[in-house]
Amino acid sequence: MTLVQRQLSSNLVKLALVALAYWSAGSLTLQWMKLGAEASPLWLPAGIALTALLIYGEGIWLGIFLGDTFLMLTLGTGWGVILSSAIGSTLSGIIGLKLLRWSEFSPRLSRIQDVTGLIFLAGMVSSLVNATVDTLTQFIIGALSWHNFSQKWWLLWLGDCSGILVITPFLLRLIFDNRGLLRQQSRERMIEVAICGGLLLGLSWLVFVHHGKPTLVLEGGLTNAQYLEYLPFPIVVWAAIRFQTWGAVLGSLLVSILAIVGTLRGIGPFVIQTLNLTQATFLLQFFIIIINGTALLLSATVIEKQRTEKQLRVTLERDRLLAEVSLRIRESLDLKQIFQTTVAEIRQLIHADRVFIASLKDQGIIEVVAESVNGFYPSLLEGSPRDDLFTDIQSLFNDYQPFIASDLTELELPIVVEKYIKYYQVKAALVVPLHLDGKPLGLLVAHQCCGIRYWQKSEVKLLEQLATQMIIAIQQAQLYQQVQQLNSNLEKQVEERTHQLQEKIQEVQELYEMKAVFLQAVSHDLRTSIMGMLMLLNNLQNRPGDNLTLSRSILERMINSSDRQLTLINALSENHFSEERHLVIHCQPLSLKDFISQLIEDWQPLLLQNQATLSSIITDNLPPIYADSEQLDQVFEHLLTNAFKHNPPGINLTIEATVNQGMVCCRLRDNGIGMERQQCEQLFKLYLRSLHDRRRTGIGLGSYQCRQIIEAHGGTIGVNSTPGQGCEVWFTLPIAKSQPSAVS
């Protein structure tokens, strides 16, 4: 079956149901009231016709027409009366529908505007059409005399009006709020319902049925009092105020039924106060219209009052939420916490199924940064929207106005968006864009998933105000990040400048220390040499005679002292020069074993003088080294001199050479007093030898020269020592290969 066929079948079923309901209600009314073709005090089909039109629309008019036609046929009236009744009933219902739509009528009857529209526009104005068409047609065809014209017209008009005010609200409540009737109530509420219903039923039966017999009038019954029919009225008011629309509808319906029953039985206050049944029917119709209209107006007033109070509470909650969000923004810069708390409170305040904040990242990627969702629906945080979704909803970001959709199924959306809202079960949406300086930042979105929703202006305004606060939070966070970045850069610059300043200060301190050591060493060394020479010269001067004989030993001591001074001065000059230019050495293959043997032989006088021994542990298969013999001789001379100078007589020295990692490693060991760890670390640094040992004097250039010579050969030099356990100085030299004759 095609879609058109299914729709046609559905429409035919609706027409048949409406026609059947109209005919059944009319037949029931006429049989119950036993009026035949006479006008009824409460015409049920009028209420059914208006309800059907409100639910199904104008297209259902044919069902009303057919239902009224069949009803009139069963009564055996002529075709003129049949057509006039069917046309009048149909036109009356359609005009009532048009008037209600014009007044923006809501079937929930929760506003005074809805109730007044139902009473005056649908109940009074539209009913005029049916009464006028029906009575005028009957008068034209001769079925109604002019004497009874006005009476017939009033009965028809008031009957239709009563039927609309009694039946239409009852049916609308059954359709739109049937759960409200069966909703579980508290025990106190149920007791109140029982008391109210019992009082209303008892008073209505007492007024309209039991004490309404004519025989009781002479006996002084309750119906002697005029207007006693309004005795149940306070109970109806109670029901309307306490139970709103359902209380008003059921209470007035119960009173109307009992009043009709009593009047049709020829008893009750309306019969007693009038001369005939027609006048009693008029009073009954006025009573039904008054009590139903009053009850509905009271219930709508109470509902509007409650709605106003609720809106006031919502406004207060909205102001509180705005104040709290503003306070959180001022007190915290944690955007994630601010966003998450805000969406949770928004969802609770506006009773939405999902509220979230989406951020627009680079390259058009949408990221949900915070969400509050009803547990019955999927979360956006658990999935990632497709990248091409931004292309389809880009207008939401670029548009500065909110996007409001009460029913998304009525909109023509791209396929990607349709799949998106279908998966996340979105029925209605309210989207507020977030912009900063014309640049889109994201969206603040509220979803309704349980059904369509008509978003209120206050809700739209709330989200707009909160969107402004979100923009302020984002802007504040961006400014804070910029400040942090500037602070970080500033701290980095300060740290760099501080480090540079500390380095300069350390250099200056080292220069001062080096200057102090230099002056101390120079003054000591030069003073020692000069004082020794002066002592010799003074001894010579104190000898008698003009001609003095100078022994060879004294001459040698004078020469050694002068050489010492010259060596010191040359060392200072050479080291200053070497700071400006690299040391140049002349290397050639050299047998280290032969070199050490010759060295031991040359140093025998000094060894004997210091009561020391010097031995060599060098194998015959040691490969030749590639070195400058003169520079290497200076290295050994300085190392041996230091060993004799800083150790007591009688030390034993050993020279050992081995091959290690392609280099020849030489070690000079002694069994002297050793050195501290700090002395070992500073031994080969320029001018710093005496900085850590004030008992030792000298500039310390010799050790520094040794390091320069070894490094010029491509090797390294170091020292290992433990106080009291001797000292070991080691250095490495390259193995002889095909090398150039000079190395820089």
Write down the pLDDT at residue 125: 93
Write down the pLDDT at residue 222: 44
Q: Are strands 727-734 and 663-670 parallel, antiparallel or unpaired?
A: antiparallel
Alpha carbons 472 and 466: distance in angstroms, whole number: 10
Cα dihedral 145, 147, 149, 154, rounded to 10, equals: -150
Q: Are strands 652-660 and 613-617 parallel, antiparallel or unpaired?
A: parallel
Span 23-81, pLDDT tens digits: 998 888 887 766 544 567 888 999 999 999 999 988 899 999 999 899 888 887 778 88
The fold of 331-481 is Beta-Lactamase (3.30.450)
Write down the pLDDT at residue 113: 92
Span 578-629, pLDDT tens digits: 444 467 788 899 998 889 998 888 888 888 888 899 999 888 888 999 999 8
In CATH, which superfamily holds the domain spanning 582-743? Histidine kinase-like ATPase, C-terminal domain (3.30.565.10)
Note the Cα 44 to chain centre separation in Å: 57
Alpha carbons 468 and 723: distance in angstroms, whole number: 76
Q: Which residues contact 643 (CB under 8 A, 6 or more apart)?
A: 612, 651, 653, 668, 670, 672, 727
Write down the pLDDT at residue 395: 54
Domain residue extents for the chain: 1-176, 181-330, 331-481, 582-743
Write down the pLDDT at residue 576: 46
Alpha carbons 349 and 540: distance in angstroms, whole number: 116
Check if 1-176 and 331-481 are the same fold: no
Nearest to 744 by CA among 708, 707, 694: 708
Looking at residue 711, its amino acid is: E
Alpha carbons 72 and 84: distance in angstroms, whole number: 10
Ranges in the chain, pLDDT < 70: 1, 3, 33-39, 181, 211-227, 329-330, 332-333, 362-364, 382-400, 517-533, 535-536, 540-541, 545-558, 560-582, 686-701, 738-744
Nearest to 290 by CA among 238, 224, 239, 236: 236
Written as six digits, the tokens of 629 are: 């013999």
What CATH number belongs to 1-176?
1.10.1760
